[in-house]
C-alpha cells in the first residue's frame, strides 16, 4: 500500500533543494517539547561527567561543599583583577582534569553571567549613579541638570571607577558560577544531596530538592506523552487558537496528575516506614585524600587572600 502524498511531505510549499518556497516552522508547542528534551539530554550528559574518572570525582561531596564555601568567601574578598583571572585559569584547569569539556564549562558560565550581571551593573558605569573620573563623555549638557529634587552634573560619562568596579564584580560572579558548575557537573545529584544533609542542612529542604529533581522528569515524560498522543490523532497542522486551547487544558490536566501523584507517593513512603529522614544503604567516610584536599583548599584560600592584600586592590 502506498503512503498518502501529504504524509510523505516534510516541508509543505518548499522545493526539495530549499531554494524557493516557504519553509514550514514548528509551532510553539513543538518548540517547547524540543526545549524540554534538551533539558533531559543535558541532565544525562551531566550524570555521565559525574561518573567519569576525573580528579574532582574522586573526592567526597562534603569536601567539595566545604571547598565551595571557602573559595566563594575568598573570591568575594579579592579585589585584584590578576588574581581573579588566575583563579579562573585554575578552575578551567580543574575542569579539564575532571574530564569536563572546556567548551561546555565556558558556555555554561559566560553565556549567562555577562547578560544578567551586566544588565544590573549598567547604571553603575555612569557618573550620575557613581561619581568618579570621566573616562568617556557621552553627552555634555553645558549646565547642571535639575530634575525635581534630583541634581545631576553637566555631563553624562562613563567613569573609570564605575568601569573597574563592574569588571571586578563580573569576574567575581564568573568565578563563583564556575565553582558551582564544577561542583554540579562532577558530583552525582544523590551524592550531592547526601553531602548537603551531612552539613546539618534541614532535612525538609533536602527532601524537597530530592523529590523536585526526581519527579520533574516524570512530569516531563507525561507532557511529552500527552503531546505525541494528540499529534498522532491529528491530520495536518493545528491553528494557533487550537494550540492555545491544548496548552490550557494540558496545564490543568498536568496539575491534577501531579497532585494525585504526590499524594500516592507520600502514602507509599509512609507505608514503607518513612519518618522524615532519608536513609541510604551506603555510608561514606573521609579518606586521607579527602583530608589532604581540605588542607589544600584552606591553604590556597589563605594564599589568594594574602596575595590580594600584598598586591592591593584595583579600587
Cβ neighbours around 236 below 10 Å, total = 7
Highest mean pLDDT among 151-165, 170-184, 198-212: 170-184
Q: What are the domain boundaries of the chain? A: 25-233+243-274+287-311
Q: How far is residue 133's CA from residue 140's CA, in Å, rounded to a whole number?
A: 15
Cα 36 from chain centre: 15
| 186-210: pLDDT as tens digits | 888 878 888 888 777 887 788 788 7
Is pLDDT at 40 greater than 60 in this prediction?
yes
Identify the CA nearest to 88 among candidates 182, 166, 188, 186.
182
Are 29 and 247 spatial neighbours (Cβ–Cβ below 8 Å)? yes
| 245-256: pLDDT as tens digits | 777 777 888 888
Is pLDDT at 10 greater than 50 in this prediction?
no
Looking at residues 137-151, what average pLDDT do you find?
76
SS (H, E, C) 244-277: HHHHHHHHHHHHHHHHHHHHHHHHHHHHCCCCCC
Looking at residue 138, what is its pLDDT?
81
Identify the CA nearest to 135 among candidates 108, 165, 109, 115.
165
Q: How far is residue 154's CA from residue 156's CA, in Å, rounded to a whole number?
A: 7
281: cell is: 544503604
Is pLDDT at 281 greater than 80 in this prediction?
no
Looking at residue 210, what is its pLDDT?
78
Mean model confidence pLDDT for the chain: 78
Looking at residues 44-57, what average pLDDT do you find?
80
Q: How far is residue 158's CA from residue 134's CA, in Å, rounded to a whole number?
A: 6
Residue 126's beta-bridge partner residues?
Answer: 158
Q: How far is residue 145's CA from residue 154's CA, in Å, rounded to a whole number?
A: 6
Range in 18-32, 247-261, 299-313 the model is least confident about: 18-32
Looking at residue 302, what is its pLDDT?
92
Looking at residue 277, what is its pLDDT?
66
Identify the CA nearest to 181 among candidates 294, 52, 68, 301.
68
Looking at residues 7-26, what average pLDDT do you find?
46
Range in 55-59, 71-75, 118-122, 260-264 the model is least confident about: 118-122
Identify the CA nearest to 143 among candidates 131, 130, 135, 152.
152
Is pLDDT at 26 greater than 60 in this prediction?
no
Greater confidence (243 vs 100) lies with 100
Greater confidence (144 vs 236) lies with 144
Range in 91-105, 175-189, 232-246 the model is least confident about: 232-246
Task: Dump the DSSP string for 49-115.
Answer: HHTS--SGGGS-HHHHHHHHHHHHHHHHH---HHHHHHHHHHHHHHHHHTT--HHHHHHHHHTTHHH
| Exposed/middle/buried for residue 134 (C-beta within 10 Å: 0-12, 13-18, 19+) | middle
pLDDT > 70: percent of the chain: 80
Looking at residues 205-220, what average pLDDT do you find?
78
Amino acid at each position: 500500500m502506498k503512503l498518502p502524498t501529504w504524509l510523505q511531505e516534510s516541508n509543505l510549499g518548499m522545493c526539495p533543494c530549499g531554494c524557493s518556497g516557504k519553509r514550514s516552522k514548528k509551532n510553539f508547542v513543538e518548540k517547547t517539547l524540543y526545549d524540554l528534551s534538551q533539558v533531559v539530554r543535558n541532565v544525562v550528559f551531566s550524570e555521565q561527567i559525574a561518573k567519569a574518572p576525573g580528579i574532582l570525582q574522586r573526592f567526597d561531596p562534603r569536601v567539595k561543599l566545604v571547598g565551595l564555601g571557602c573559595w566563594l568567601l575568598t573570591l568575594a574578598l579579592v579585589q585584584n583583577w590578576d588574581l581573579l583571572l588566575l583563579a579562573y585559569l585554575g578552575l578551567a584547569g580543574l575542569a579539564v582534569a575532571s574530564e569536563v569539556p572546556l567548551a561546555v564549562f565556558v558556555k555554561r558560565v559566560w553565556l549567562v553571567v555577562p547578560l544578567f550581571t551586566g544588565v544590573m551593573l549598567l547604571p553603575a558605569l555612569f557618573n550620575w549613579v557613581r561619581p568618579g573620573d570621566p573616562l568617556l563623555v557621552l553627552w555634555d549638557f553645558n549646565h547642571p541638570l535639575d530634575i525635581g529634587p534630583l541634581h545631576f552634573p553637566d555631563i553624562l560619562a562613563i567613569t573609570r571607577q564605575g568601569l573597574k568596579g563592574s569588571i571586578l564584580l563580573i569576574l567575581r560572579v564568573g568565578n563563583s558560577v564556575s565553582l558551582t558548575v564544577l561542583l554540579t557537573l562532577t558530583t552525582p545529584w544523590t551524592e550531592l544531596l547526601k553531602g548537603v544533609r551531612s552539613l546539618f542542612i534541614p532535612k525538609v529542604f533536602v527532601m524537597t530538592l530530592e523529590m523536585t529533581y526526581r519527579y520533574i522528569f516524570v512530569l516531563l515524560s507525561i507532557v511529552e506523552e500527552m503531546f505525541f498522543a494528540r499529534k498522532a490523532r491529528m491530520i495536518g497542522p493545528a491553528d494557533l487558537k487550537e494550540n492555545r486551547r491544548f496548552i490550557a487544558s494540558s496545564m490543568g490536566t498536568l496539575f491534577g496528575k501531579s497532585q494525585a501523584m504526590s499524594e500516592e507517593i507520600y502514602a507509599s513512603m509512609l507505608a514503607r516506614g518513612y519518618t522524615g529522614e532519608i536513609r541510604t544503604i551506603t555510608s561514606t567516610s573521609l579518606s586521607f585524600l579527602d583530608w589532604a584536599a581540605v588542607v589544600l583548599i584552606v591553604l590556597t584560600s589563605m594564599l589568594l587572600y594574602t596575595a590580594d592584600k600584598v598586591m592591593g586592590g584595583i579600587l
